[in-house]
Amino acid sequence: MMFSNKRFLLPVIDAVIVTACMYLALLFRFEGRIDNAHMASFLRMLPIIIFVRPAIFWLFGLYKGMWRYAGLRDLSSIIKAVTLGSVVLAAFIFFLRLPYSRGVFAIDWLLNLVLVGGERFAVRALREWRTERVKRMKRILIVGAGDAGEMILREIRSHLKSEYLVVGFIDDHRAKQGMSIHGVKVLGRRHDIPQVVKQRNIEEIIIAMPSASGKIIRDIVSICEGIEVKCRTIPGLNELIYGRVSIKEIRDITLKDLLRRAEVKMDLPEIASYLEGKRVLVTGAAGSIGSETCRQIAQLNASEIIALDYNENGLFFLEHELKKDKNSKSVSLKIALGDIKDKEKMRLIFARFQPEIIFHAAAYKHVPLMEDNPAEAIKNNINGTANLVDLADEYGGHKFINISTDKAVNPISVMGASKRMAEMLGQSKDDSKTCFISVRFGNVLGSDGSVVPLFRRQIAEGGPVTVTHPEATRYFMTIPEAVQLILQAGAMGRGGEIFVLDMGEPIKIVDLARDLIRFSGFEPDEDISIEFIGLRPGEKLHEEPLRVQGAVRATIHECIFVAEMPRVDGKRLKADVEVLKELAREGNRHRIAEKLKEMIPEYRPNVKKK
């Protein structure tokens, strides 16, 4: 039907063109002033012109060809048809004895040749331009035919339509198969990706599934690696919590995409209620967890953030970042340079700023280093925490949230034991008006000094990537997710609790290393080797699940639990801390280990590691 309509439309268009050509020929010949005699002749000839020229075009097959493939033979037919048409029209004028300038026929012939021929060859030129344009466009397949996929399609068409061509969608939902979004069809399910990529010449895949689990993302990435097609994604919902899906958010797959867990459901009103309008002190503010805590608090209407650290450069860059951030401009940011081991300096800071909420993230965290330097772990992680706990109590802070670790569960390292002691310091203040709580969680991806930056540096140097043990596993979460849960636990705490976070399933360190090598464009064991160096002092083969020690009880939040821990004798603990302080001053490694074992029965410093 459409084809027939085009066949009918072309003679109509030609009738308009040939009429316009004759009229323009008269205008050109008489320099815009057509006399009455020639105008009368033109009007008398008009029905003949409209009939004769399209009829001759039909005789020469100008309505039968596919003009997208027009060539020299078609140009020859156009010249013959236009020339014969001019001869026939001249004959009509001669037999009708109409006044007509011969120059008009010459101009009319040239105009018909240009416009009628141009009309046909324009179809071919347009088709070739569109074909070439499509060839230059990157062919995209979007995995996820939901809201995020629709927004990505819309944004590509709005901003990058000359660069990208969305060929289709992939979605596992049965009801979506064969359906279309803005004219783009759902071409199959996840297992159909290799076939679709081959048939449709796909060059890049965009995963538009912000709520998908890490397992699904890993599966899709594995499929893409098998067919050697580039794969990118949009951030997970945890990262998009304050924004929306945008073409600017499309990025390469990262490790945190492979670990992507279920969305953290935050009770923002509850969190805002204990932070809004408050003066908040964050220790270790220049570190990974401390700086992210500052960023998130800045968006929750705290009146003032006091960022405390002894890392001058880190504080400088944090201040610059938060002052530049539009979402953080409503909060007053104060920078406090100091060491938590210096109690008098800490007293000056508490006296000056009168913090109401304290997030304590300052700590030494490297297990092997603390094994070699146990006195420093005592001074910083225990004595430093004791200074802050005492001052929070003395200056009437509302809440003190101590950020702890999974290494405090049945510790075998000095670092783990020192963090368990930091928890006990808060537990001992059960008669304080300040609400002391601790939050335990495992490793965070990309934190300063963690395994991921180390692996990246080793890959950049050409390898080898060093892994402690082929079976070693750790629990991981992203920094933003960890901080969201810390803030949520802070809202829930009423005093004395040790909250433990659900870290999901453990990840093999060697798998993490292999994924990082692939993301860097290399093949593990071929381009970059992996070397197993053995467990270091204080390290476990497998970190114990955070809920393993003692009983735990559920909370209203599905990812947060409370560990039921034994009561702590505050007076005895205070005396023991003083002894530890003295031992740390002396640097007596053996006595420090003995004292920690006495204070923490579950501490096992001499466990034989395989």
- pLDDT tier at 223 (50, 70, 90 boundaries)? confident
Strand pairing category for 184-188 and 180-181? antiparallel
Q: Catalytic site residue 379?
A: no
Residue listed under structure tokens 């039907």: 1
Q: How many CA atoms lie within 13 A of 363 on its CB side?
A: 29
Helices (H), 60-159: 72-96, 102-136, 147-159
Mean pLDDT value across the chain = 82
- Phi-psi group of 72: left, alpha or beta (phi > 0 → left; psi -120 to 50 → alpha; rest → beta): alpha
Nearest-angstrom CA–CA distance, 365 and 285: 15
Q: What's the start-to-end Cα distance of the chain, in Å? A: 79
Nearest-angstrom CA–CA distance, 366 and 414: 10
Q: Which one from 341, 365, 379, 407 is the annotated catalytic residue?
A: 407
State the helix-helix crossing angle for 589-599 and 414-427, rounded to 10 degrees. Answer: 50
Strand pairing category for 204-207 and 180-181? unpaired
Helices (H), 228-361: 255-258, 268-275, 288-298, 312-324, 343-353
Nearest-angstrom CA–CA distance, 351 and 328: 25
State the helix-helix crossing angle for 102-136 and 2-29, rounded to 10 degrees. Answer: 140
Torsion of CA 248, 249, 254, 256, to 10 degrees: 160
Nearest-angstrom CA–CA distance, 419 and 406: 9
pTM of the model: 0.64
pLDDT at position 314: 93
Contact residues for 307 (Cβ-Cβ < 8 A; gap 6+): 282, 285, 286, 290, 294, 315, 318, 319, 333, 334, 335, 336
Residues 102, 20 contacting (CB under 8 angstroms): no
The pLDDT of residue 129 is above 70: no
Query: What pLDDT, in 10s, does the model give residues 483-533?
Result: 988 998 898 888 889 998 877 777 888 888 888 887 776 788 888 899 998
The pLDDT of residue 56 is above 90: no
- pLDDT tier at 260 (50, 70, 90 boundaries)? low
Nearest-angstrom CA–CA distance, 358 and 288: 17
The token duo for 607 is 């466990």
Q: How many CA atoms lie within 13 A of 332 on its CB side?
A: 9
CA 353, 428, 539: angle at the middle one, nearest 5? 95
Query: What pLDDT, in 10s, does the model give residues 307-350?
Result: 999 999 999 999 999 888 877 767 899 999 999 999 999 999 99
Nearest-angstrom CA–CA distance, 608 and 610: 7
Query: What pLDDT, in 10s, does the model give residues 371-393?
Result: 999 999 999 999 999 999 999 99
Query: What pLDDT, in 10s, does the model give residues 181-212?
Result: 988 999 999 889 999 998 988 888 888 887 77
Nearest-angstrom CA–CA distance, 546 and 475: 10
What domains can be seen in the chain, in order of their start residue?
2-134 (no CATH), 137-258 (3.40.50.720), 268-599 (3.40.50.720)
Residues 458, 564 contacting (CB under 8 angstroms): no
